[in-house]
Structure 1
Amino acid sequence: MMANQNKKPNADFNLKEITPSIGAKSGITTATDLVEINFFLFVRIVKAKDLPGIRGPNTCEPYVEVKVGGFKMTTICFSRNSNPEWDQVFALEKARIQESSLEIVIKDRILKYDEIVGRVSFSISDIPTRVPTDSSLAPQWYGLEDQKGRKLIGELMVSCWIGTQADEAFPEAWHLDATSINIHNILSTHSQIYLSPRIWCLRINVIQAQDLLFEDRPENSDIFVQATLGSLTFRSKLVNNNKGNPKWNEDMFISVLEPFDQRLFLSVEQGTLKNHKSIGKCVIPVKNADKRLDSSPASAKWHSLERPKIIEVEQNAKVASRLSLRLSLDGGYHIFDEDPHFSSDLNATAKKLWRPSVGVFEMGILNASGLPAMKKGNRTDAYCVAKYGPKWVRTRTIVNSLSPKWNEQYSWDVYDPCTFITIAVFDNGQLQEGHGADGAIDARIGKVRISLSEMITDKLYTYSFPLTVLQPTGLKKMGELQLAFRFCCPSLSNLLKVYELPMLPRLHFANPLSVTQLSGLRKQTIMLLSSRMSKAEPALRREVVSYILDSQESVWSIRRGRVDFERINVVVSGAVALYTQYKKICKWSNPISTLIVYLVLFVVILEPQFVLPAMFFCLILNTILQYPKRPKHLSHVDLQLSHVQTANVDELEEEFDPIPSKFEDNIIRQRYDRLRIIAGRFVSEVGKIATRGEKLGSFLSWQDPTSTLLFMILCLVSGIVTLFLSFRVIVCFWLLYLTRHPIFRSAFPTVLENWVGRMPSKLDSML
């Protein structure tokens, strides 16, 4: 019942074009031409001087309250300071202002009921308007007054103006409509831009060790090297101690972030992976590693090992143990942090190896609609996060709105058009009273990906993207996100040059890393980025980074299996269609079509030089015929292909089931039996293809000496015949044989089919 409710068959999951009121529609190009212009009242509270205190000089504990009608917010409070400096900016959307005046009040926390020290008021109609091209408005000193307009001691430096979201003060402004937010949490509502630190691949090539000493000198004990960097630990393979001189020649890879202030701890361990003890240690600063940009190996160095004191005492060793290794920071690789299929950046780590920019991607994050209530009281505090390349952007949090309007515009440099930008919507969970609730997370609402390669350069796109989330109970629509974006490319020739270059840096091909190594580096990178971003102000929390980067690897499921099966069917459908037509021609189902094919074949045989040009022209013609069927919109989630509507609850629960499973034995047994049946069918079909290939290969392997001898005789005869016959004649007779009329065909298999079917295969050797 719950699944049916969440699937919402009446929900619209389609991508829709929208017509927002933005400047780009009318050809205007500005810093805000992709968003709807919103005007804000900005108030900058700079500082105050000579504030009176009831207990003498510097006994005042002042703070400022900015008030416009029912909207108000306070600055931080200083302790015992008559000349405080706040330098805080407040903002309020002009469309929400219904009062005619702005009131700025200085209060003293020591006074009873926070009585006022003085006030300054402005008529909103007199506040000037400025655009970003104008210089910032200089703050001025204003004398303080009481409620009746009488002059008081002290002055306040303030500046007020009407601006837009393009104003440089907008990102740092405290918005007056967030009055319910505690002052300690207000920072987490600000918009912000983050840059990912550069990610280097630390390669540790452990070569060998010399003069190792053992506590009990076992003859056949195994040795391995353990490398520790921060919270990451790696171990080499186990090798024989070789009388204290073991050899590995093995690489270990660790992701490291700039700056290289970490230290690498290396330890030579004796024993098994579960039960071992250290027999030598050394510490190497990561910054001492050689930086390299090509495939040339780093220089090998010997490092002295510090032995445990018990070994030194027992053996009184005078020979120093050493460890030889190559340590390098490889900047020629691109270390993936996103899913490689949806990557937004393909440049190498070292900036020297970056390709020139081919354009700029600009995006306006307009608004969202129909968001679900994520908190009690039918409340959602939504913000957006977008990532492309190393640049992350975060919009401001719109407090307590199910239809938030951000209207913020950002831009990114593009180095490869075959990349994706990811935009996600979250509910801010850090706005509770105090300094944030313990364990509160920013709940995900939905995510959108845009492929830059599908976009026409310099064309404006305005879409409303459905926000969908697949849950164990089914597919759920979480609202819609409205975006305006374009890909500006100043030089088409530079864009075309990119298509002839390899997608990844050269080092990936000169000295490639395995899929396992790249996957391991990506997991480490996500963990390091999550830790680094969570320390920013405002923090980009771990769950946000994890969701944007798709940190959870895709686990096999029945739903995904059906999707992949259909994709394979689509890919091979062309070959299947050709084979079907071939069968019809061979059976003379349509004699006219068969005769036309005969005519074409004879033309090909007589004039073979026209074969390739005809093929290319046919491809061009087919492409032209496909033009009316071209996609009218950018690609988005295909619900029919994804089988999210047809998957039942049990299949979805299995897909979201963690490893190890959380379900009881009976359910796991049923799913395992189902998996065995599906996997058995798949393996059976693949096995048939393998068996057919092995039977064909058996002609040359002498597994069946009689067949191999007959095959050699047949090849000899065929070689002599083809030596004297024209190639055109051979092709002609071969094609005529393949397309012969059904009256010349037999219901029994051909001699060649019978012969291949009798050949041995490796299936004969299987249990």
Structure 2
Amino acid sequence: SFKEPMFQVKAQLGFQVLRTKPAVAPNGSPSWNEDFMFVAAEPFGDGYLVLTLEHRGPKGLMVVGVALVALATIERRVDDRKVVAKWFTFDNLGLGGGDEKRGYKGRVQLRLCFDGGYHVMDEPAHVCSDYRPTARQLWKPAVGTVELGIIGCRNLVPTKVVNGKGSVDAYAVAKYGPKWVRTRTVLDNLDPKWNEQHTWKVYDPCTVITLGVFDSWGIFEADEPPDPTCQDVRIGKVRIRISTLQSGRVYRNMYPLLFLTPSGLKKMGDIELAVRFVRSTPTIDVLHVYSQPLLPLMHHIKPLSLGQQEMLRNSAAKILAAHLSRSEPPLRCEVVLYMLDADSHSFSMRKVRANWYRIISLVAGVIDVVRWVEDTRTWKNPTATILVHALLVMLVWFPDLIIPTLAFYIFVIGAWNYRFRSKTMLPHFDPKMSLAENIDRDELDEEFDVMPSSRPPEVVRSRYDKLRTLGARVQTVLGDIATQGERVQALVTWKDPRATGIFVGLCFVVAIILYLIPSKMVAMASGFYYLRHPLFRDRAPSPAINFFRRLPSQADRLL
């Protein structure tokens, strides 16, 4: 017998392994109450879910018993109905010799089901090509079809040497939803032509079709000895968002094939594509899709955590890569993982800075509005300030016009920007926005480094120090944000009795004034006071800002 036994259950489906937390079982009946999710691919055949009961003792883990659950016997559900729990028996199957008699080792109560209401992503969410649930009975009718013409490439950069000259054996792979297509391989040609056309059904226009170009190894014997572990070389990738296509219009363009290597950004050539979206339902049905949830209903009823989503996505990518490697013609594992962006979540200082500049570009519009307001209230353009006074009077005395005026203003902006829309070229990878043109070599080397790092200790130490410097800046910004929020809380928490007394007293006075004086008069007076001429304004900060900056925060309590 065990003293204070601790048990845990290991669940394994193929290469996917999950374990429960250890549970103490003084009475021999441990309880876990944990939910596990696996990715299972049909057909199930003779597949099993293997459950192993393990005992955690002072000498390590010891297997107590094993239970096998045939996948074909597990029930299916498409909603959030409760699944009936069943008992499964642990025995010593496979723990001893082959002729050993099976013995009873306990039972475990499980709720098992195939959840068809979820969509298992195998791509990043922002470039996903399909959002449908797994169960076919939940699929909605298609809203159209997308036709992709893969015409050919030009000026490809040689990736290997054959018979003393550069060579490329190029082929293209396109993916949209669960359907993958592969062109034929054009041998030893830097300007390959395919002239192939493929069609997919479109269920959601807010999806992305992905096309990649690769160089096939193993067809020709290169000057060097053949390496069986050599992978197909990535040449480039193109993404096209279906929602950017006008219905019925053919877009035929040349797209640069850009590929980021440890030595920098390279243009590997150009590819010519023709794409067309054909609507098969009324326009109102296509527009109705924009009001529907992006993911199936189960993702909103019982949402998955970020950790679960990432784990399921990695598992789905591996299962899909193994399946396509057995197809005809086969797709190699590195090709599938590149098309699925399996390494998109790896750390990159370049992506950190690129995302920061994206945020800055978004905030720039707000900053421009703030500057315009500041210029208006300082009378830098007297005509504009007088017009703002007139607009203020109109909106204060006729408040019903505020929302219509704002809506009409947004309409004018959208109608004006319609003139500058792209009419021919579709959006493509932007090296400038990606900061891939003039990237630091050390940052690029860090981006392509494996996990754990394979670089010398001094290089890792230098990168760690740089990361600490960046972390110190982030720490300061987070501290400033927390300080401002705590100052807002300090207005009514009496941490500074004088400041809270002043604020509460002013709130009482404001309430009495607003009770006695019409709100239109107060709004008018406040607006004119805010827009007063600089001759009547002090250049020092306002009393309200001075008061707020004097409020206490929790920063002085940190060690």
TM range (shorter): over 0.9
1:439 to 209, 229, 235: 229
The residue type equivalent to 1:568 in the other structure is I
Aligned to 1:240: 24
**Offset of 1:653 from its aligned partner?**
1.1
Q: SS state of the match for residue 359, structure 2? A: helix
Contact 1:280 1:307 (8 Å CA) reproduced: yes
Percent of matched pairs sharing the same residue: 38
For 1:497-516, list aligned pairs within 5 A: 497-516=288-307
Deviates more, 1:748-757 or 1:483-492: 748-757
Aligned to 2:238: 448
**Does 2:159 match 1:374?**
yes
For 1:581-730, list aligned pairs within 5 A: 581-632=372-423, 633-730=425-522
**Does 2:60 match 1:270?**
no
The residue type equivalent to 2:175 in the other structure is K
Q: SS state of the match for residue 411, structure 1? A: strand
Q: SS state of the match for residue 538, structure 1? A: coil
**Does 2:194 match 1:398?**
no
Contact 1:281 1:305 (8 Å CA) reproduced: yes
**Does 2:367 match 1:576?**
yes
- After superposition, the Cα gap between the structure-2 partners of 1:381 and 1:699, relative to the gap in structure 1 and judged at 3 Å, is same
Highest CA radius of gyration, 1 or 2?
1
Cα distance in structure 1, aligned partners of 2:440 and 2:498: 55
**Offset of 1:608 from its aligned partner?**
1.1
The residue type equivalent to 2:6 in the other structure is D
Aligned to 1:470: 260
Q: SS state of the match for residue 271, structure 1? A: strand
Q: SS state of the match for residue 597, structure 1? A: helix
Aligned to 1:427: 215
Cα distance in structure 2, aligned partners of 1:612 and 1:274: 72
**Offset of 1:437 from its aligned partner?**
5.8
**Does 2:116 match 1:326?**
no
Aligned to 2:352: 561
Cα distance in structure 2, aligned partners of 1:291 and 1:255: 14
The residue type equivalent to 2:519 in the other structure is F
Q: SS state of the match for residue 396, structure 1? A: coil
Aligned to 1:343: 128
Return the structure number with greater helix share: 2
- After superposition, the Cα gap between the structure-2 partners of 1:242 and 1:583, relative to the gap in structure 1 and judged at 3 Å, is farther
**Offset of 1:331 from its aligned partner?**
0.4
Aligned to 1:229: 13
Which 5+ residue runs of structure 1 have no aligned equivalent?
1-215, 312-317
**Offset of 1:424 from its aligned partner?**
0.7
Q: SS state of the match for residue 463, structure 1? A: strand
Deviates more, 1:235-244 or 1:595-604: 235-244
Cα distance in structure 2, aligned partners of 1:748 and 1:438: 74
Aligned to 1:218: 3
Aligned to 1:57: none
Aligned to 2:39: 255
Cα distance in structure 1, aligned partners of 2:104 and 2:449: 55
Q: Deviations over 1:495-526 (max 9, x none)?
A: 11111111111111011111111110000011
The residue type equivalent to 2:170 in the other structure is A
Q: SS state of the match for residue 574, structure 1? A: helix
Aligned to 1:175: none
Deviates more, 1:326-335 or 1:749-758: 749-758
**Offset of 1:347 from its aligned partner?**
0.5
Q: Deviations over 1:314-372 (max 9, x none)?
A: xxxx9962211111100001100111110111110001111110111111111111112
**Offset of 1:309 from its aligned partner?**
11
Cα distance in structure 2, aligned partners of 1:537 and 1:706: 79
Contact 2:214 2:236 (8 Å CA) reproduced: yes
Contact 1:292 1:328 (8 Å CA) reproduced: yes
Contact 1:223 1:268 (8 Å CA) reproduced: yes
The residue type equivalent to 1:291 in the other structure is R
**Does 2:78 match 1:293?**
yes
Aligned to 1:45: none
The residue type equivalent to 1:446 in the other structure is G
Contact 2:490 2:496 (8 Å CA) reproduced: yes
Cα distance in structure 1, aligned partners of 2:58 and 2:429: 45
RMSD of the alignment, in Å? 2.1
**Offset of 1:277 from its aligned partner?**
1.3
Structure 1 consecutive aligned stretches of length 4 or more whose deviation exceeds 4 Å: 307-311
1:534 to 325, 337, 345: 325
Contact 1:420 1:452 (8 Å CA) reproduced: yes
Contact 1:366 1:405 (8 Å CA) reproduced: yes
The residue type equivalent to 1:393 in the other structure is V
- After superposition, the Cα gap between the structure-2 partners of 1:309 and 1:483, relative to the gap in structure 1 and judged at 3 Å, is closer
Cα distance in structure 2, aligned partners of 1:586 and 1:475: 48
**Offset of 1:438 from its aligned partner?**
2.3
Cα distance in structure 2, aligned partners of 1:704 and 1:245: 55
Deviates more, 1:672-681 or 1:285-294: 672-681
Deviates more, 1:273-282 or 1:419-428: 273-282
Q: Deviations over 1:614-658 (max 9, x none)?
A: 111111111111122212321011121111112121221121112
**Offset of 1:251 from its aligned partner?**
0.6
Q: Deviations over 1:269-326 (max 9, x none)?
A: 2217993112232111112222010111211112122259999xxxxxx996221111
Contact 2:182 2:329 (8 Å CA) reproduced: no
**Does 2:524 match 1:740?**
no
Contact 2:120 2:134 (8 Å CA) reproduced: yes
Q: SS state of the match for residue 111, structure 2? A: strand
Contact 1:452 1:487 (8 Å CA) reproduced: yes
- After superposition, the Cα gap between the structure-2 partners of 1:310 and 1:359, relative to the gap in structure 1 and judged at 3 Å, is closer
Contact 2:235 2:268 (8 Å CA) reproduced: yes
Cα distance in structure 2, aligned partners of 1:272 and 1:734: 73
- After superposition, the Cα gap between the structure-2 partners of 1:444 and 1:274, relative to the gap in structure 1 and judged at 3 Å, is farther
The residue type equivalent to 2:66 in the other structure is K
Aligned to 1:40: none
Aligned to 1:152: none
Return the structure number with greater strand share: 1
**Does 2:270 match 1:480?**
yes
**Offset of 1:425 from its aligned partner?**
0.9
Cα distance in structure 2, aligned partners of 1:740 and 1:395: 70
Q: SS state of the match for residue 707, structure 1? A: helix
- After superposition, the Cα gap between the structure-2 partners of 1:319 and 1:474, relative to the gap in structure 1 and judged at 3 Å, is closer
**Offset of 1:709 from its aligned partner?**
3.7
Q: Deviations over 1:169-214 (max 9, x none)?
A: xxxxxxxxxxxxxxxxxxxxxxxxxxxxxxxxxxxxxxxxxxxxxx
**Offset of 1:468 from its aligned partner?**
0.7
Aligned to 1:126: none
Q: SS state of the match for residue 551, structure 2? A: coil
**Offset of 1:766 from its aligned partner?**
1.6
Contact 1:278 1:308 (8 Å CA) reproduced: no
